[in-house]
Structure 1
């Protein structure tokens, strides 16, 4: 063999080895991101089934139950934009690992909580950790999968983690709560260790020099907290209470100041120009409404099953089993669908399926049978499993690679704000209507109407 042939052979071997290492790192990245997406999604909903047991042990009214869910969702939502900025500055891998470590520590703290107030603090810490994890996980997928087809598959796996957790969370809560409610937090710890084991072996992330918008972060945190607190307290204090009015009006004013500040600072935490991108407009609207409906529905449904029908936590969790398997299948199918037909077509199909699921439950005569509720959840979950990775793909495809972190954070911020408001709004409805059966019907009707409006908006906006 000549010297030139030997050199070429060595170069080919080096290239092959480099490609294998890159593929191995990309696979680990996808696995770590999918597990993290599952963990973050599971912790939103696993607590729902355990709420009656927690309230019986630690005390608490409807508002306390709502804060158990929204303390997590609210901090999660408010800090996502900051976390996206941090992922760009420090590198997505560093932020991802830091978030997983905090998640594990907060889970230990929550496991040994001795009062409702302490447990709500633990839930808030879990929300902070989730905010660090989620946008970093999307950025890691984007970094490790430059090929669009492979990125679509990786996003499908990431979406499968989050979507399946929405169904598996209540099931695990039902299995663990009869032993002791603290186990719904302890179950997070092995997942955190697995994420850290994978993350330690993935490729380093690039770091970008960016500035931090401290004023914007402060206004966003204060404004959203006041507004969501005002909605929650409507159920306890009523619409006419000075406290409720003050929180709602103050929240709107502060959020208005936040938007104004974003147009004035040189490096905003939420760049307003991204709202002019057509794909971002559609994806943000879809993300908000989908999670608003889903979190609100699961919150009311678990109350209906336990408080309304008298089911145990375990039996109530079993109602969500079919949707867990259907959702996981939907994400696998959704990845192929996106690759074959594109994100726009997949989003239209997914939204349409979700509308069918809500209408099926709405049109069923009250009281709704448990099997119909399980079927409706499965149909809605299947539609969401198709829609979520497609919407995430639209976000990443709509912006420059240097803005992937902040765009991902904006997408997930709108999702989590929608979830926090969904629990707050539907919790208030449950407090005012005469029965949980009627509250569930209101949830189905509102969800179907909102999704129809989003579907029309999506079709008109893209056609325009």
Structure 2
């Protein structure tokens, strides 16, 4: 009996020591698929929105909620999901999220009204929040060697970054058949993740406390703030409802920050903001996705409503950027290995700025080939930058905080995306044409990325 007990203890101790190659491959594939799903589902619906609105009804504000219902819940729950991954094990949380994602996708495909669709999109946001930070934690667990981790993160980044370009393409291909297929397409990917589950080794757990007060304040603050921004375009900035939403949102977010200094186990440890690598990575994540989601939202509206292109033709505009983004992620892994994350981030940001300026300087109306080329340039730069920024996050913190740090990084990304869609959607309602709105997106994006580039260079020079 003593020998059997000793053997069981040894097996338990070695379960987390050195992952097998097959387990590492399974984790990398499953995590990359999850990253692809989370990124694709933000943007695949954009191309289908005019068709969905024609069938189910809804103005610009309602269409923004179809997008932001997903991104808001995704962003607001990422930190809690990161804590859940640490507490119950990244593998368990990851698989629960994948199953929920598949079920919510089926619900959205049968939506009978815009309200039902927005509800389903919110559930999808919850599922994405569960799978994304857990996927980064699983990669960290399965790839202890820095070089292997860099390649795994490059593939993980390729999943998310390429999805941003593939999403509109798939939306354009599937919408002419029926808009519900933009949600049904998620189900096979979810099944693939569940099939790989037996080959993913069990994750370690940590006993932690949950910050329910912080979670409630974050959810209330982000939801009401984004709702207020959307209502600026729908009913005006001076409307009482708009002012109340904006005021409540800002107050809740201030109270959230204050609460993080008072609770025993904060959901967003403010001490992580003092780490220089985290400062750089969080700003990069926020502004990159703010620009990209806002640009794709307005771009799809511009192509279909102002250039009078069909959903399929509009989706084809994103084809070049899809391939370029995938290539950029694969090259990005080599650049990180050869030159380091600082060089990769600097190069990627510079390429993105060049892409936005190229589109901004095009003659009016913006030619479709310019849009396609600019998307490709920006996507290539983003593909180089994203895995490098994710690597900075994992390298900057203690391994025990990998889950919460990953959740913070992805939270800032998704908050940026939700606010980007809201802000640029509002801008489009006040400008004379979608061509002008798209140009405003390009120049604003270039300026914001230039700020991040300067901040990154100066911040790391101080070290």
* TM-score interval (norm. to shorter): over 0.9
- SS of the aligned residue for 1:200 comes to helix
- Which whole-Å CA distance do the structure 2 matches of 1:200 and 1:357 have between them? 43
Alignment partner, residue 397 of structure 1 = 395
Contact kept, 8 Å, 2:65 with 2:118, in 1: the verdict is yes
- SS of the aligned residue for 2:199 comes to coil
How much has 1:380 moved relative to structure 2?
0.1
Report 1:255-294 matches (<5 A): 255-294=253-292
Q: TM-score, normalised by structure 1?
A: 0.96
- Which whole-Å CA distance do the structure 2 matches of 1:245 and 1:195 have between them? 44
2:366 corresponds, among 355, 360, 368, to: 368
2:412 corresponds, among 405, 411, 414, to: 414
How much has 1:200 moved relative to structure 2?
2.8
1:79 matches 2:73: no
Alignment partner, residue 136 of structure 1 = 134
Alignment partner, residue 172 of structure 2 = 174
- Which whole-Å CA distance do the structure 2 matches of 1:34 and 1:199 have between them? 14
Query: How many pairs align?
Result: 447
1:230 corresponds, among 212, 228, 231, to: 228
Deviations 1:354-397 (A, max 9, x none): 00000000011111110011000000000000000000000000
1:32 corresponds, among 30, 47, 72, to: 30
Report 1:148-297 matches (<5 A): 148-297=146-295
- Which whole-Å CA distance do the structure 2 matches of 1:200 and 1:345 have between them? 38
Q: Tell me, which stretches of 5 or more residues in structure 2 are unaligned?
A: 1-13
Deviations 1:103-139 (A, max 9, x none): 0010011010100000000000000000000000000
- Which whole-Å CA distance do the structure 2 matches of 1:343 and 1:112 have between them? 44
How much has 1:340 moved relative to structure 2?
0.7
Q: Tell me, which stretches of 5 or more residues in structure 1 are unaligned?
A: 1-14
- Which whole-Å CA distance do the structure 2 matches of 1:258 and 1:114 have between them? 36
How much has 1:199 moved relative to structure 2?
2.3
- Which whole-Å CA distance do the structure 2 matches of 1:273 and 1:170 have between them? 38
1:317 matches 2:315: yes
- Which whole-Å CA distance do the structure 2 matches of 1:149 and 1:296 have between them? 34
- Which whole-Å CA distance do the structure 2 matches of 1:405 and 1:200 have between them? 22
Report 1:76-155 matches (<5 A): 76-155=74-153
Alignment partner, residue 453 of structure 1 = 451
Q: Which moved more, 1:196-205 or 1:445-454?
A: 196-205
Deviations 1:128-170 (A, max 9, x none): 0000000000000000000000000000000000000000000
Alignment partner, residue 307 of structure 1 = 305
- Which whole-Å CA distance do the structure 2 matches of 1:276 and 1:211 have between them? 22
- Which whole-Å CA distance do the structure 2 matches of 1:327 and 1:427 have between them? 25
Alignment partner, residue 339 of structure 1 = 337
- Which whole-Å CA distance do the structure 2 matches of 1:422 and 1:354 have between them? 17
How much has 1:201 moved relative to structure 2?
1.8
- Which whole-Å CA distance do the structure 1 matches of 2:448 and 2:57 have between them? 35
How much has 1:203 moved relative to structure 2?
0.5
Deviations 1:175-195 (A, max 9, x none): 000010000000000010001
How much has 1:273 moved relative to structure 2?
0.2
- Which whole-Å CA distance do the structure 2 matches of 1:85 and 1:431 have between them? 39
Alignment partner, residue 11 of structure 2 = none
- Which whole-Å CA distance do the structure 1 matches of 2:237 and 2:164 have between them? 31
User: Aligned-residue CA RMSD in angstroms?
Assistant: 1.0
Alignment partner, residue 50 of structure 2 = 52
Q: TM-score, normalised by structure 2?
A: 0.96
